A and B are shown apart, each in its own frame.
Chain A
Amino acid sequence: MVTLPQLIEEDIQQLDAVLEELLEKTDATTALIIDKGGFLIAHHGEQRQFDLTTIAALASGAYLANQTIANLIHETNFNSVYQQGEKYSMFVNCVDECCLLTVIFKAHLSVGAVKYFAGPAAESLARQLVLAQERNPSGGIDLSVLNLADPSAIFRKKT
């Protein structure tokens, strides 16, 4: 399975710049890059009023559920999903095989503009992820300081 490459400072800065530009152009509230497994990768814009970790998990689940529905009606893929609300709406656009771009915007704003600018933004994000993948195709992390003989130190039950 294709997985997200290891991201360095430069990658995050580039991804963040794309999100910032997208927010400027669309006047949207928050933009997120999420892994299809449910992880939040990067975000820009308003974050205090939203639980972004949970939004990432649920948005990826909703997107994947819609993709399965697409297959059931003999569609290859629904490339994007739009959820219309009364105060806020959400637009999810596929970036590549492992990532999604999610935009949260005020409901009175034009979804057309969000869709129009999200497409090129998703392409820019995909290009940066390709660069990250090529830089370090099998990057890992050194966890050697962890004392694995004592797993109880990881999660402790309240006494």
Chain B
Amino acid sequence: MAIINQATKELQVKIVYYGPAMGGKTTNLVQVHDHVQTTAGNKGKLVSLATSSDRTLFFDFLPIEAMSIKGFKTKFQLYTVPGQVIYNTTRQLVLRGVDGIVFVADSQYEKMAENVESFTNLDENLKALKLNLGDIPYVLQYNKRDLPNAAPVEYLEFLLNNREVQVPSFVSTAHLCEGVFESLNMITRMLLNKYISQSTPQYA
């Protein structure tokens, strides 16, 4: 969960990009890293633990500092998980301490089963960590909308956004940076909102 450091006036939060293999999670981080507007020094290096074929092996990691809220520096740590089914243990490790999730789904028709499997896997992994998808802010991102075999958004909504509480969803073409910042800003807004509603007001 988020770290609040009163001494150094820092709020640190962890956002994890989750989803099926080759869905565009790493591309999201690369686009944020390449295009985010920051003052010098507020954007960390994008660290990628990948195989020689550029498949994520452990995780990608991007630390960025956003705005100051009441004198608190807000530091965001963006992580991706490896999408391949065999790396489930690694996904569980990366989910530890998660504050918000961006689920990156692959819009292609033939990837629907993988999308659903990955979403179910997310739910199971959170339960293994004694967390509940209902308690953690998350958004859905339907990626690869530029491909000709992309399924209609309504179909993706039916498959992935059909729980009791519907969450915000975004269409994206991550390699063109479309929908990337929209998803990130929404998840940030949702998790900060969660801390507002949880916290007791502090009076000076």
A-side residues, CB < 8 A to B, are 1, 3-4, 6-9, 11-13, 35-41, 51, 53-54, 57-58, 61, 64-65, 68, 138-146, 148, 151-158
Report yes or no: B189 in contact with A154, Cβ–Cβ below 8 A: yes
Report yes or no: B3 in contact with A1, Cβ–Cβ below 8 A: no
Report yes or no: B97 in contact with A54, Cβ–Cβ below 8 A: no
Which stretch in B65-73, B102-110, B156-164 binds the other chain?
B65-73
Report yes or no: A12 in contact with B5, Cβ–Cβ below 8 A: yes
Report yes or no: A155 in contact with B3, Cβ–Cβ below 8 A: no
Given contacts A61-B59, A143-B196, A158-B37, contact A1 B185 (CB under 8 A): no
Q: Residues of B contacting A39 with CB < 8 Å?
A: 3, 12, 14, 77, 97
Report yes or no: A157 in contact with B35, Cβ–Cβ below 8 A: yes
B-side residues, CB < 8 A to A, are 1, 3-8, 11-12, 14, 32, 35-37, 44-45, 47, 49, 58-59, 61, 63-64, 66-67, 69-70, 72, 75, 77, 79, 89-90, 93-94, 96-98, 129-131, 177, 181, 184-186, 188-189, 192-193, 195-196, 198-202
Interface of B is mostly: mixed
Smallest beta-carbon distance A33→chain B, Å: 11
Contacting B186 at CB < 8 Å: which of A53, A139, A151?
A151
Q: Residues of A contacting B45 with CB < 8 Å?
A: 51, 54
Report yes or no: B14 in contact with A61, Cβ–Cβ below 8 A: no
Report yes or no: B185 in contact with A35, Cβ–Cβ below 8 A: no
